[in-house]
Structure 1
Amino acid sequence: MTGLPPITEAAVRARLDAQARPPGSLGRIEDVAVQLALIQQRMNPRADAIRLLIFAADHGLTEDGVSRYPAEVTQAMVATFLAGKGTANAFARAVGAEVTIIDAGVNPDLAPHPVLIDAKVGRGTRNAARDPAMTLSEAEQALQRGRELAIAVIERGTDVLALGEMGIGNSSSAALLMHRLAPASLSDSVGQGAGHDADGLAHKLSVLTRASERSDAVEPLEVLRQFGGFEIAMMAGAIHGAADRSTPVVIDGFICTAAALVAIRLRPETGAVCLFAHRSAEAGHDRMLKILGAEPLLDLGLRLGEGTGALLAAPLLRAAAALLSDVARLDDVMAGRL
């Protein structure tokens, strides 16, 4: 504890309004600057060291054909990230962010790698159309491991966390979580995922309807147990860890926002550390953002996942932090005190 009074929004706004430019002239960037300052409780917030955590896991729902791709693609894409050849890797290099991959529940064992963390809770979830996706113990374990991982990364010197995911079938899990926790109709929650045609989308909705009818859960932890994925649960825990260490966390697209929904329903105060990177093209994402009262920074028609949208928002966060630390006051300009 510093013993200093907390930094308030009014104080940050006053500092911005005193700068050598028309008040309010930087629009949403000023809002981001305020949020960063309030989260970190610093008038000169930091956004230099940004680390993307990509959580990967398999989903039992793929047994019923909810994705156009086989479950084996999860492992293949993790190998691509570890080789530095994924889209997320390319974007991370472009914006100067670091990448860590977390095995939250990939079915096969993964070989050790310098940027891979083995936090496997299980070898993929069970098929939520037939059984609870995970046990209560597994759900709690995934949340706690995500929290601990985030705290460890932050304590090693991370200013901002960005979240990404990889898991064939995870848009189905996210849709079920949205359906129960938003709440929203299932038809409003289910989208193309990795690229369904009309027939594939109809089949996906049919499978998820069966899953929804299997359980009437509405309490957040039980909804997570019934329908969640290990990577989604771990991302929710990471948001809790970021909140516990007063660290901003950038939320990517539809699946990451479902994880944020879980995190916020479990601990409402943790929503204050979330910055929502973009509005995904995935059906349901705009509705979920509105339910959370979130206004994303970008709207680029993205629907890849992997944390790609979160990475593209990184320069905006750095600019917002620099706005508070590097811009002169108008009275100093007029007095020649530069």
Structure 2
Amino acid sequence: MDFKISSISTALDHKLWNKINSKTKPIGSLGILEKIAFQIGKIQENLTPEIKNPNVIVFAGDHGIADDGVSFYPKSVSYEMLYNYMQGGAAINVFSRQHGVNFKVVDAGIDHDFDPSLNIINKKIAYGTKNYRLGPAMTKEQCLQGFKSGAEVIETIQKEGCNFLAFGEKGIGNTSSAALILSLLADINLEECVGRGTGLNNDGVKSKFDLLNEALHKYNGGKDPIEVLTQFGGFEIVMISGAMLKAAELKMTMLIDGFIITSALLAASKINPKVLEYCLFAHKSNEQAHIKMLNYLNATPILDIGMRLGEGTGAMVCYPIIKSAIQFINEMASFQEAGVSESEEIETIR
């Protein structure tokens, strides 16, 4: 748990903005692209930032609470979807393939044994968490193992030359974990944190809330992130938190997806808030509580297009915008290079 995360240096701030503002355009006219280019340049401490060997990693784990019917789908969908991933048929496969992003799957705790030939990264802690309506989802030792395993995945990928990551998740019932994590760590009423998940109707949402509220009232622990994750987390959420902390330690840029992924980041930020400095927020999920989570983290999403699929799909749909930010800062001509007269405003900034 000793992640040594450095705050992003401000040494290049003036030079980065000078480069951005000197491009052949009115100041600020590329909107959020300018902020993205600036942040990635700061993270990489480089006036010509680049995305190297990008990866999207889907962590998967089953949840005991799913047995109580908190999801529209049965728990078996989790392992069935992993077969779909490995056959290339899921939305995350389509979008990562479209944009040339490496796709990996980690079995954090699926209630199924996969053939090693499927090339799924095996970090299985157990065959799913326990039902936290009846007791802790996992032991503290399992929680800490999850952090360690998530960090190990990132160490391996970084050694392969990756400097840019997006995370996805699969686990029927994991919006329930995310709702409880948000409620406890951000001190928000649980009713405001519970949403439709995989497509519950109003009665389904009420039943889901009742079950989670029962579990919350039985919880006697505090708001320490490890305690909260041990009681209510999923193995995939814990591993993603560990992966994020390690990625920040290694100065990698992270593109954050929706509700589940942001819940893992919320927990990670309670362990080391500097992790947030390495994050770009892809989109606002249509899961009702995601905007509350983003607001709590003081995060501005790049897109708001009604997505709530998970898997890292929001991040992959956003990825071309990130690429555009990198392209303009590196390839767009400056006023001087193009022989175009600069405005007095730019001269004043200098």
Query: Does the TM-score normalized on the shorter chain lie above 0.5?
Result: yes
Letter of the 1:116 partner, please give it: I
Determine the structure 1 residue equivalent to 2:156: 152
Letter of the 1:269 partner, please give it: K
Distance of aligned partners of 1:171 and 1:335 in 2 relative to their CA distance in 1, 3 Å threshold? closer
Long gaps (5+) in structure 1: none
Distance of aligned partners of 1:198 and 1:39 in 2 relative to their CA distance in 1, 3 Å threshold? same
In the superposition, the TM-score normalised over structure 1's length comes to: 0.95
Determine the structure 2 residue equivalent to 1:177: 181
Letter of the 2:278 partner, please give it: V
SS at match of 2:36: helix
- Offset, 1:155: 1.6
- Distance between the aligned counterparts of 1:26 and 1:335, measured in 2? 18
Alignment RMSD (CA, Å) = 1.4
Q: Is the 8 A contact 1:7 1:43 kept in 2?
A: no
SS at match of 1:42: coil
Distance of aligned partners of 1:48 and 1:319 in 2 relative to their CA distance in 1, 3 Å threshold? farther
1:48-72 Cα offsets, whole Å, 9 max, x none, are 5221100000001012111121111
Give the ranges of 4+ consecutive aligned residues of structure 1 lying more than 3 Å apart after TM superposition.
Answer: none
SS at match of 2:116: coil
Determine the structure 2 residue equivalent to 1:235: 240
Determine which of 293, 298, 303 is the counterpart of 1:293: 298
Determine the structure 2 residue equivalent to 1:249: 254
- Offset, 1:157: 1.6
- Offset, 1:335: 7.5
1:8-42 Cα offsets, whole Å, 9 max, x none, are 32321111111121111101000000111111111
1:319-338 residue pairs with structure 2 within 5 A? 319-334=324-339
Q: Is the 8 A contact 1:129 1:211 kept in 2?
A: yes
Determine the structure 2 residue equivalent to 1:200: 204
Letter of the 1:57 partner, please give it: G
SS at match of 2:15: helix
- Distance between the aligned counterparts of 2:53 and 2:329, measured in 1? 17
Determine which of 159, 168, 179 is the counterpart of 1:164: 168
- Distance between the aligned counterparts of 1:115 and 1:308, measured in 2? 21
- Offset, 1:130: 1.1
Determine which of 55, 69, 76 is the counterpart of 2:73: 69
Determine the structure 1 residue equivalent to 2:307: 302
- Distance between the aligned counterparts of 2:205 and 2:84, measured in 1? 27
Amino-acid identity (%): 38
1:39-54 residue pairs with structure 2 within 5 A? 39-54=43-58
SS at match of 1:283: coil
- Distance between the aligned counterparts of 2:299 and 2:13, measured in 1? 18
Long gaps (5+) in structure 2: 1-8, 342-350
- Distance between the aligned counterparts of 2:182 and 2:257, measured in 1? 15
- Distance between the aligned counterparts of 2:202 and 2:340, measured in 1? 66
Q: Is the 8 A contact 2:52 2:161 kept in 1?
A: no
- Distance between the aligned counterparts of 1:6 and 1:148, measured in 2? 29
Determine the structure 1 residue equivalent to 2:344: none
Determine the structure 1 residue equivalent to 2:275: 270
In the superposition, the TM-score normalised over structure 2's length comes to: 0.92
- Distance between the aligned counterparts of 2:128 and 2:256, measured in 1? 23
- Offset, 1:114: 5.2
Determine the structure 2 residue equivalent to 1:78: 82
